[in-house]
Structure 1
Amino acid sequence: METLRARKKQRTRDALLRTAVELFTTRGYEETTVDEIAEAVDVSQRTFFRYFAGKEEAALALQELAVLRFVEAVRERPADEAPVQALRQAVLEGWDTLHEVIEAVVPVELYLRMHRVIESTPVLLAAHLRRNEETEDTIARVLAEREGLDVDADPRPRLAVAVFGGVMRVTERQWSTGEDFSVEAMRALTISYLEQVGPALTERWRTR
């Protein structure tokens, strides 16, 4: 059972995260300091560092929540589902349930705005891509376990995840620079791009 102390700590962390994201999306990541985040929540800088290693961790925390949900969704897919189909359904489920995961901390609209900040801030984008590599390794291991394979001996789990991850990066970039920045637009774009993977890899592209 969750204790009163644990709930208080969670409320403090959520308040720090929400304030950090609000400042990052209105003032800019580089222009926002840890002191300003802490002061806005009426806590000390020391308290901030109890919950986050630094600004970068706070800036990527919402994405981390979504990633953890995605990995769990892959684990929960039916065992008889083909690996790539399991990935596809898990990511679509992630967009469908994004509100449940994110809105306990911030409005989804703020999460989407923070995603754009990450894409446009080199230091955050580099950190985001590093974390994506770690996530891809985790997912490859999940797929290998589902299929009864040795991930270090059989390349298929990592190949599947690499292709899937590449599609998602292209989708993210297209979405973050487009005019329609809604969850629905991202979901539709994800479906469209995933459906093109097979033809893009196996068919000729020339039109004449």
Structure 2
Amino acid sequence: MSSGNSVGTGLRERKKAATRQALHEAAVRLAIEHGLDRVTVEAIADAAEVSRRTFSNYFASKEEALLYGDHARMCLLLEAVRARPADEAPWPVLTAAAVEVFQVLGTRDPKWIAQVRLVRRHPALAAQQVTTYTSMEDGLTAELSARGVTGPVRARLMAAAFMTSLRVAVQAYPDRTEGAPFIDVIREALATTGEGFRER
């Protein structure tokens, strides 16, 4: 009986994940094609072939739906940090986790670049992106404290500086020379910020 329940639960979770991804992809596609201001929640729901109510079960706004990819990467990032060796120094842990998660974006995906430029043009999207990135600070702070970062203030500052560096790298990337790997921008941003968190 329990095995059947597990299968059912797994299927429901996969269907939810598929619906969430479909809404996200519809939001990105419509915003790129028509501009964010012309896109409505109803249009996103229609494009994903779900109801307006279903949209509301997954996202609070069209901005949140559009930036769901960022949220998913942030969750993967926290998992990657937790999976690093326990004896690794804190800032190298963060850097290695970022490289692991973000290296898949190294091919200048036109859709992702267009999404980044949308964020730069629209304050509502920029605010949502800040919210998405800062939502990971509590988890990172706890992980850094567990790894020996002394004091809650330093651990939180490190987490916040790390997340800000990633966001700045994302925003700066479209202006880089065509073909430049995104991961190089990530490494540059983290190396610069990491100077302030060298172990003493």
Greater Cα offset, 159-168 or 44-53: 159-168
Q: Please name the residue that 2:170 is paired with.
A: 172
Structure 1 residues 148, 41: closer, same or farther in 2, change over 3 A?
closer
Distance 1:87 1:70 in 2: 9
Deviation for aligned residue 1:194: 2.8
Q: Please name the residue that 2:66 is paired with.
A: 59
Greater Cα offset, 187-196 or 88-97: 187-196
Q: Please name the residue that 2:3 is paired with.
A: none
Structure 1 unpaired stretches of 5+? 100-107, 203-208
The alignment status of 1:132 with 2:139, answered yes or no, reads no
Distance 2:119 2:176 in 1: 15
Q: Please name the residue that 1:79 is paired with.
A: 86
Q: Per the alignment, in what secondary structure is the counterpart of residue 37 of structure 2?
A: coil
Q: Please name the residue that 1:117 is paired with.
A: 118
Greater Cα offset, 158-167 or 48-57: 158-167
Q: Is the 8 A contact 1:115 1:176 kept in 2?
A: yes
Distance 2:193 2:147 in 1: 22
* Deviations 1:177-201 (CA, angstroms, capped at 9, x unpaired): 3343x6x621011222333346689
Q: Is the 8 A contact 2:149 2:155 kept in 1?
A: no
Deviation for aligned residue 1:32: 0.3
Matched residue type, 1:194? L
Deviation for aligned residue 1:55: 0.9
Greater Cα offset, 124-133 or 142-151: 142-151
Deviation for aligned residue 1:94: 0.8
* Counterpart selection for 1:45 from 46, 52, 55: 52
Deviation for aligned residue 1:96: 2.7
The alignment status of 1:188 with 2:184, answered yes or no, reads yes
Distance 2:160 2:89 in 1: 16
TM-score norm. by structure 2 comes to 0.79
Distance 2:97 2:121 in 1: 27
Structure 1 residues 75, 123: closer, same or farther in 2, change over 3 A?
same
Deviation for aligned residue 1:121: 1.3
Structure 2 unpaired stretches of 5+? 1-5
Larger relative helix fraction = 2
Q: Is the 8 A contact 1:19 1:40 kept in 2?
A: yes
Distance 2:163 2:12 in 1: 39
* Aligned-CA RMSD value: 2.8
Deviation for aligned residue 1:27: 1.4
Distance 1:168 1:186 in 2: 11
Greater Cα offset, 72-81 or 53-62: 53-62
Q: Per the alignment, in what secondary structure is the counterpart of residue 147 of structure 1?
A: coil
Matched residue type, 2:42? D
TM-score norm. by structure 1 comes to 0.76
Greater Cα offset, 67-76 or 89-98: 89-98
Identity over aligned residues, as a percent?
A: 33
Structure 1 residues 136, 32: closer, same or farther in 2, change over 3 A?
same
Deviation for aligned residue 1:54: 2.1
Q: Please name the residue that 1:29 is paired with.
A: 36
Aligned residue-pair number: 189
